[in-house]
Structure 1
Amino acid sequence: MDTLRTHKMRSALTVFGVVLGVGVIMLVAALITGFDYNIQEQIRQFGADTAFISKWTQGMHGAGDAPLEERLRKPLVLDDERAILNSCPAVKDVTAFLTPPWMQTHSVRTKAGEVQAIDFRGVQPNFGQVYANASTLEGRFISEGDDLHKEKVVMLGENVAPVLFPEGHAVGQDVMIDGADFLVIGVVEKPKGGFGMGDEDRRILIPLSTMKKLYPSADEVSMRMQAYAGLLDQAVDQAREVLERRRGVPFGGKDNFSISTAEQQVSEFHKIMLMVYLAMIVLSAVGLLIGGVGVMNIMLVSVTERTREIGV
């Protein structure tokens, strides 16, 4: 104890190093546990037997930041959806949705409020069955009749409805989307399991045929494919073969589309988190090293002083 009191700074650094090292190790363990939970939730909400199909390569960039080669790719079309459903035995169902050009900003408003930069999609009636994050909270989902007759009906995202209708009762009310009147037929549940992205839900869903009618330049067709239980890998392979043939991909050439599953998207986050984990481990090792050097120095000083005292 006398040695510790004599070398206060050295003792403090030693304690700090040990505490830092142990603390960082505990933090890393907690992060790993929490991240693994998020991964499982992401897979569950994404749909364990579903895959996302797009002309864009899935990754950590938006359409505006995509390479020129991707921007020049021809869009997917509704005939691709039908070909996949008819030619892939492992595929249970496919739903297509259409989005306006990414460079345009869209908004929805009422007298009570307005929401800008909405996630605006034209969807098919089976969107709610295939897409795991499209449960209806109020009202009803878009029907075959709505799509057939190009009805101007809309489903609001769970976070959008309270902004436009603070007093509630959105179903049956009118909203304006880019200046056009739409009738609210339902409210769709906000996404979960998207690594915190559910709180940013701004989804606005209208019939796909209505989207094509009101926005003739909209050609960004994407698809969500649902495989039979346990057959996702086979479904992905079959769908890839169909699209390669339809889109003229040469044998052994690079695909001009992407098919991604929840596991593949999660692996992107894994790569990022791995770097974070490694950095934290290095930091904890440095902390423990500092603490170890401090302990060694204190022990060395203590031995030296005792040696002087006994005259050895």
Structure 2
Amino acid sequence: MRRLVYELFESLRIAFTQIWANKMRSALTALGVIIGIVAVTLMGTAIKGIDVGVDRSFSGFGDDVLYVTKWPWHEIDDWWNYRNRRPIRFEYARQINDWIATQPNSAIRLAVPVANRGTNVIRGEYRVNNIWTMGTTADYVRIARSEMKEGRFFSEFEAQAGSNVAIIGYDVADALFANESALGQTVRIRDQNFRVIGVAARQGSFLGLFSWDSMLAMPLTTYRRYFRLNDDNEIRVQVDATRMEAARDELRGLMRRLRQLGPEQRDDFELNEQGTIRKQLDPIKNGIAMAGLFITGLALFVGAIGIMNITYVSVKERTKEIGTRKALGARRRTILLQFLIEATSICFVGGTAGLLLAYGMSVLVGAVAPSFPLVFSAGLVVTGITISVLTGVFSGFAPAWQASKLDPVEALRYE
């Protein structure tokens, strides 16, 4: 055991001595490995970044919410069928809550009506266009996950009275009140003054998905006074996240009863959830993965061929040295280990350089495009190093095996 440990450390010393003595050759040899590790690392950071970005965008809306809507969130294959559906009535929220009150074991927790549309918000000479404006009830704060930077959500009294009060997102506040607090200030919406009573904390958005940052909320009674209702009405229903399937079945049955659908009639409403959006992003993640794997495989294949070739060259250059060491009693295992470690060391150095380069690129992308989060995790580092080492082992084994089989007499006579 002690002899094996000594041989291992001696092989490492010889390997790094050879790499340092042939720095340019080693760097060019490791280039394929560097490109492959950069590709696989950036692919991993992008895929993890998509998941984090989606979670961040939806974090303010709750992951235990089902959305009762007229339109589905997935691709529509029968547009006229969905177009002719009846609108979602806000009275359904009250009826669902009445049902919940009589069913203590229900998987449904709370129903909140929501109307939304894009509108312009003005403050003096400042103006922000197409802000996603939402009308809802005071209960909305119970299902939302968004925190307030300052101020509060509107009360039940303000909701019932139809007060002209508003809660604005972080980006809206930053655009209209860049150097001052928005709390207590007035904004104009449809030539009506609204008093800002709350500013949501910054949430962040991703790939154009909605977030609280670019939204405005007001009481539903106020909303209905100034806006005409459209097909975007919805009921957001908080459910028991541990009983999601049961909640879906219960809510579907309840909605069919409220809309008086017969057993043979199809649903004329849709139950959406955040998982639908995540599933739609799967092709993007799969595309990134396929492209990354192709580039990684091609680069590592080229790199492995280069490392194998250089290791063969190294064996030829040091044939006499191998013969001398064998004549002095070196085992085949010692020679095999020496060249195998040399090839693996080049890949390890290349993999480390690739990881450092990928980290620098991810930091640069994060600075240029902060809305696209790249997650550089410890798991990616371990994966990159493992791939590098395995590439070195597979590419260096054949020339190392050839070196270990050299006859010492023939090796000493080699010119």
Query: Which letter does structure 2 place at the counterpart of 1:143?
Result: S
* Residue 107 of structure 1 pairs with residue 120 of structure 2: yes
Distance (Å, rounded) in 2 between the aligned partners of 1:108 and 1:115: 5
2:171 alignment partner, SS class: coil
1:98 matched residue in structure 2? 115
What pairs up with 1:64-83 in 2 under 5 angstroms? Answer: 67-83=79-95
Larger Rg: 2
Match of 1:153 in 2: 165
Q: 1:252 to 1:56 in 2, by over 3 A?
A: same
Of residues 86, 107, 121, the one that matches 2:134 is 121
1:207 positional shift: 1.0
Aligned positions, number? 300
| Contact 2:43/2:288 (8 A) holds in 1 | no
Distance (Å, rounded) in 2 between the aligned partners of 1:295 and 1:205: 61
Distance verdict in 2 for CA 1:217–1:98, change over 3 Å: closer
Cα 1:18–1:219 shift into 2, 3 Å: closer
Q: CA deviation at 1:215?
A: 1.6
Alpha-carbon contact 2:69-2:271 (below 8 Å) kept: yes
Aligned match for 1:276, one of 273, 279, 288: 288
More moved, 44-53 vs 119-128: 44-53
SS of 2:180's partner is: coil
Paired with 1:217 and 1:39, the residues of 2 have a C-alpha distance of: 29
Specify whether residues 283 and 66 from structure 1 end up closer, same or farther in structure 2 by C-alpha distance, changes over 3 A only.
farther
The one of 28, 36, 45 equivalent to 1:30 is: 45
Contact map agreement 1:121 1:206 (CA 8 A) in 2 = yes
Change (3 A) 1:229 1:58: closer
- Secondary structure at 1:94 match in 2: strand
- Seen in structure 2, the aligned counterparts of structure 1 residues 289 and 191 have a Cα distance that, compared at 3 Å, is same
> CA-atom RMSD, angstroms?
3.9
SS in 1 for 2:181: coil
What's the offset of the Cα at 1:230?
2.3
Amino acid across the alignment from 2:32: G
SS at match of 1:74: coil
In structure 1, give the amino acid aligned to 2:38.
G
Whether the 8 Å contact between 2:57 and 2:211 is mirrored in structure 1 is no
- Alpha-carbon spacing, 1:192–1:230, altered in 2? closer, same or farther (3 Å): farther
Query: Does residue 1:226 correspond to 2:243, yes or no?
Result: no
Q: Give the Å deviation of 1:55.
A: 1.7
> CA 1:172/1:26 → structure 2, altered by over 3 Å: closer, same or farther?
closer
Between Structure 1 and Structure 2, which shows a larger proportion of helix residues?
2
Aligned in 2, Cα 1:291/1:165: closer, same or farther, shift over 3 Å?
A: closer
Q: 1:289 aligns with which of 301, 318, 329?
A: 301
Structure 2 vs 1, CA of residues 146 and 24 (structure 1 numbering), >3 Å: closer, same or farther?
same
Equivalents in 2 of 1:202, 1:268: separation in Å?
Answer: 23
Q: CA deviation at 1:108?
A: 0.9
* Deviation sequence 1:120-155 (CA, Å, 0-9, x none): 11111111111223x333333222222222222222
TM-score (normalised: structure 1): 0.77
Residue 56 of structure 1 aligns with an amino acid whose one-letter code is W
Asked whether the 8 Å contact 1:95–1:225 carries over to 2, the reply is: yes
Distance 1:234 1:67, change over 3 A: same
Shift of 1:37: 4.7
Q: Is the 8 A contact 1:212 1:218 kept in 2?
A: no
Q: 5+ residue gaps in structure 1?
A: none
Distance 2:210 2:44 in 1: 25
Matches within 5 A, 1:126-275: 126-133=139-146, 135-192=147-204, 201-218=213-230, 220-228=232-240, 230-247=242-259, 251=263, 255-275=267-287
The 2-side partners of 1:301 and 1:75 are apart by: 76
Identify which of 67, 91, 104 aligns with 1:52: 67
Measured in 2, the distance between the counterparts of 1:153 and 1:26 equals 48
Deviation at 1:93, TM superposition (A): 0.9
Change (3 A) 1:168 1:240: same
User: What's the CA shift string for 1:224-270, capped at 9, x where partnerless?
Assistant: 21123623332222112222344466658764433233344323323
SS in 2 for 1:119: strand
